[in-house]
Amino acid sequence: MSRRKIAKKRMITQDPVYGSRLITMLSIRILKHGKKSLAQKIIYQTLDIIKDRTTGDPMETIEKAIRNSTPLVEVKAKRVGGSTYQVPMEIRAYRGTNLALRWLIQFARRRQGKNMPHKLASEIIDASNDSGNTIKKKRRNTPYG
């Protein structure tokens, strides 16, 4: 890390189909071996599956899932004197969204199922309904739920 200049925050480009930055962030998390087109194809198939399974708009379902799985508080180790304490600290919005996306992808990959679009769609639908492994992880990792 440079001592002279502060690293500039890069702006995330919008998704070409839906015009959403959230979809771009999701595709970056799914990305493996630099295959961006494959990651985007997985997400678009996921959105089609969500559209078939639910009555609402798939973008609203994803936003609700991320809102439900975003933690507000996390504990950090704070060293005072000779002992270490776990201190609850507020999370900034960007970090909270990143954690929620990371957990969604992590538990979608672990899920039993047909292929990645089906597994990701199931995890997103579960998270939007306030159930599933992502919500359990959020409740386990934050001191106040």
CA distance 50 to 59: 9
- What is the fold, at CATH topology level, of the domain defined by 21-141? Ribosomal Protein S7 (1.10.455)
pLDDT tens digits, residue range 19-29? 889 999 999 99
pLDDT at 144: 63
Alpha helices (runs of H) in 5-143, residue ranges in sequence order = 21-30, 36-53, 58-69, 93-110, 116-128, 133-141
pLDDT tens digits, residue range 84-140? 988 888 999 999 999 999 999 999 999 888 899 999 999 999 999 998 888 888 888
Please give the single-letter amino acid code of residue 85: Y
Band (pLDDT 50/70/90 cuts) for residue 145 is: low
CA distance 94 to 92: 6
Domain positions in the chain: 21-141
Average pLDDT over residues 60-86: 90
Q: Which residues are 78's β-sheet partners?
A: 85
